[in-house]
Copies of this chain bind each other. A is one copy, B any other.
Amino acid sequence: MAHEIGKETGCLSKPPRSVAIIGCGLIGQAWATVFLRAGMRVTLYDAASGLVEQAKAQVIERMTEFARFDLVTHETLERAPAHIELADTLEDAVSAADYIQESGSEALDVKIELTREIDRFAAPHVVIGSSTSGITASRYSETIKGRERCLVVHPINPPHLVPLVEVVPAPWTAQSAVDTVHDLLSAIGQVPILLNREIDGFVVNRLQGALLREAFHLLDQGVASRKDIDKAISDGLGLRWSLMGPFETIHLNAPGGVSDYVRRFGPMYRDMFADDPDPVDWETVVDAGLEADLTASQPLSGISAAQKTRDSALLRMLAQRSRKANAASKD
């Protein structure tokens, strides 16, 4: 049975107020901005000498940009320099932190060693999240003493501007560690999603990879130019997908919702990918709960109203693009 952190110590009932950022490259800097923006304190550490000072300057610059768009208050901005601590050693960085976000190298052996060191110095109840985009927690935390508090907390580039974060526990990660991270991310305005089990590429890069695979295929086959394939997304599908996900999109694209859509268009998609060696039957998935889930969020009786809301949002995006184009043409 997994070691239930929090529940034993009781410490995780208090939300973390101070975070150690281990590794201060672009991702570490972005994380620092995210936590500072929410009024938390951060301690920066990087094994490379001098990097923490540069990172601090970058983080302050980003905070200033956020303030310009009213995304942080002037009070938070003014307090930011005092809320950033620079640590000389890993031990100094992690020993006083309530949460640790590790954003170090993607080399497996380096990550194992770094996690082991963090685990050694951090207070026992503190959760250790890794920004890794490719290494599952099973692989880098298996031999770590406190592996129950280790999990992947993977942001999307650039993390301070794209709210989504993937939370991916190993089989031995404590539920309380998952809950702590999920609550923390939600509280600071990020959008956490939880993977129920580890899978290579997690969810985001699997979805991106599936789209890229088809894009490379279409380009390789000479079906359309690179520019036109890019436009298919940036001037087409991407506009809708910035408002709602792929399932929500198809639920609104047939009068009878997702089951109607899959009945109408399922065969077309099946024929497109007829060489799939392990096809998933979409109708089965719809019946097994997808339709119930979507109609719970968006009942069929409200689809027409939901389309109107989507259309209003698209209209605002069109207007925004038009203003931008007009401004550019006046330059």
Contact = CB atoms under 8 A, between A and B. Distances in A.
Interface of A: 65-66, 69-71, 134, 156-158, 161-164, 166, 191, 193-197, 199-201, 203-248, 250, 253, 265, 268-269, 271-273, 275-278, 280, 282, 284-285, 289-290, 293-294, 297, 307, 310-311, 314-319, 322
A210 B270 CA distance: 10
Nearest to A217: B280
A98 B71 CA distance: 51
A201 B272 contact: yes
A286 to B, nearest CB: 9
Contact of A237 (B204, B220, B273): B204
Copies of this protein in the assembly total: 2
A192 to B, nearest CB: 9
Contact of A231 (B164, B214, B284): B164
Given A213-B210, A272-B206, A282-B216, A193 B71 contact: no
B228 A193 contact: yes
Nearest to A275: B277
The 3 closest A-B pairs by CB, nearest first: A230-B245, A238-B241, A164-B236
A207 B201 contact: no
Contacts of A240: 156, 162, 238
A129 to B, nearest CB: 17
21 contacts: A134-B265, A134-B268, A156-B240, A166-B232, A191-B235, A193-B229, A201-B268, A201-B269, A203-B229, A206-B214, A206-B218, A207-B229, A209-B272, A209-B273, A219-B285, A219-B290, A227-B293, A229-B245, A230-B247, A230-B248, A234-B245
A134 B266 CA distance: 12
A316 B69 contact: yes
A285 B216 contact: yes
Contact of A200 (B71, B164, B272, B284): B272
Residue from the set A245, A273, A278 with the largest chain B CB neighbour count within 10 Å:
A245
A209 to B, nearest CB: 4
Contacts of A271: 200
Nearest to A198: B223
A230 B163 CA distance: 13
Contacts of A232: 164, 166, 193, 203-204, 207, 245
A132 B248 CA distance: 23
Nearest to A194: B228
Contacts of A272: 200-201, 205-206, 209
B203 A158 contact: no
A174 B290 CA distance: 45
Contact of A163 (B166, B235, B265, B284): B235
A230 B244 CA distance: 7
Most buried by B among A226, A228, A253: A226
